[in-house]
Structure 1
Amino acid sequence: MTTKANSPVTAGSIVVPLGHMIGNEKWRGSELAQRLQGKVRLIFEDGLGLVDFHLPNRTCILLISEADLVAGDEFKRRLVRFRNASSLRGIVIVEKTPISDQYYLGVQKLVVLELGMVLLPVANQGEASQLIIQLVREQSRDRGSNPFVGRQRARPAEPAVLQALQRIPGVGRTKALLLLQRFGSIHRLCNADSQELEQAVGQTAAQQIYTFLHS
């Protein structure tokens, strides 16, 4: 079997059903995969190229681990190749720990400002799994409905989502809850313009959030 881990995105024509996700074979048996199993319908495939996970609606997840950050610039080349070779929507999840924190600003500049992709920091693979599960669930619900609201009563936001938002400069727990209450999902928040953000959290915080999320 030919490995395509270093090839460009090879699954651009894949249609991922709602509620499902396709994982790169390299993650089979990992802590992350074990945490995802049973929470979402996860199918492993070899040859996904530069992508770690394919979600519905032409969305891809690229994971940057603490080890990737410390090891050197290979992860940067992978992100650039993905952006140059693909029209898919890329979400970058990066492990931001005390060890890798010194590299984070450089990653943020590359991902957000230069490549124009969404960057979501997590503390570990457990938090990454919660965030991925939430992203799959967001896309599996009606686009016009609030993904944190069920048919009977409101669903609380996943802790990993709140923690990720609180890593944005100027956003504490209160503002994170306000943002989720107004926009309902990470996808909508990332696509919001500065005026929409300002209506939720005020001008100063809105500018910080918009700068963080967009080029």
Structure 2
Amino acid sequence: MTTKANFPAAGGSVVVPYGHVVGNEKWRGSEIAQRLQGKIKLIFEDGLGLVDFHLSNKICILYISEADLVAGDDFKRRLVRFRNANSLGGIVIVERTQISDQYFIAVQKLVVLELGMVLLPVANQAEASQLITQLVREQSKDHNSNPFLRKQCSQLLEPSVFRTVQQIPGVGKTKALLLLQQFGSIHRLCNASVEELEVVVGQTVAQQIHTFLGS
């Protein structure tokens, strides 16, 4: 079954039937598509442009594979083009493997800190299909709002945000938890002053965080 709609090249306003996921035609026959079939209602369309999957009218996924990371900077230009072209809520799924791990920190900084998008690492397409299924179920619970923009993280997103904050130099599990409890989101953390950070983690780590985030 294929639902026809007018999909702008940059992934603009898209009508996604409730309870469905609209996938880019290029994913037809892939492992991720095969694993999604039967778990969710997956339909394919040409013309999604930069977007790989639309979870709803306002939230979509851009998938960065291990091969994309190794190949060079094309994926970075794609992400920047997407971010500049529309106001969709973009979730970036990245294959973090032994081969691509060396690129992950740079990708994390670009996606989360510079572009303000959600980053979710996966090991492979099988794990990605499980994640997309969870995201769709999360949407069905709260389809009138974007769960990724709420101050209180959803149970699904919280581990990813938690891991992301831990990657900041000088921040471990305890400090990451304290920072998220204090600031509520990575966006607010990026905008925090050294003085505000000092209250939570002390002067030395506060300066490290401030320098890393480029505030």
TM-score by length of 1: 0.67
The aligned residue for residue 98 of structure 1 is 98
Relative to structure 1, is the Cα distance of residues 59 and 171 closer, same or farther in structure 2, using a 3 angstrom cutoff?
farther
SS of residue in 2 equivalent to 1:87:
coil
Greater C-alpha radius of gyration: 2
Unaligned segments of structure 2, at least 5 residues: 1-7, 148-154, 167-171, 190-199, 207-211
Unaligned segments of structure 1, at least 5 residues: 1-6, 148-156, 180-188, 195-202
SS of residue in 2 equivalent to 1:132:
helix
SS of residue in 2 equivalent to 1:38:
coil
What pairs with 1:1-215 in structure 2 (closer than 5 Å)?
Answer: 8-9=9-10, 11-142=11-142, 164=160, 167-168=163-164, 169=166, 170-171=172-173
Q: Report if aligned partners of 1:15, 1:56 keep a CA contact under 8 Å in 2.
A: yes
SS of residue in 1 equivalent to 2:110:
helix
> Aligned residue pairs: how many?
172
The structure whose RCO (Cα within 8 Å, separation 6+) is larger is 1
What residue identity is the alignment partner of 1:126? A
Relative to structure 1, is the Cα distance of residues 138 and 49 closer, same or farther in structure 2, using a 3 angstrom cutoff?
same
The aligned residue for residue 4 of structure 1 is none
SS of residue in 2 equivalent to 1:42:
strand
TM-score by length of 2: 0.67
State the distance in 2 between where 1:190 and 1:33 align.
Answer: 31
SS of residue in 1 equivalent to 2:75:
helix
Q: Report if aligned partners of 1:36, 1:133 keep a CA contact under 8 Å in 2.
A: yes
Across the aligned residues of Structure 1 and Structure 2, the Cα RMSD in angstroms comes to 3.5
Q: Report if aligned partners of 1:8, 1:81 keep a CA contact under 8 Å in 2.
A: no
Q: Report if aligned partners of 1:121, 1:167 keep a CA contact under 8 Å in 2.
A: no
State the distance in 2 between where 1:53 and 1:190 align.
Answer: 25
Identity %: 70
Deviation of 1:66 after TM superposition, in Å, equals 0.4
What residue identity is the alignment partner of 1:35? R
Relative to structure 1, is the Cα distance of residues 84 and 143 closer, same or farther in structure 2, using a 3 angstrom cutoff?
closer
Q: After superposition, what is the alpha-carbon deviation per residue over 1:75-115, rounded to whole angstroms, capped at 9, x for unaligned? A: 00100100111111101010011110110111011111111
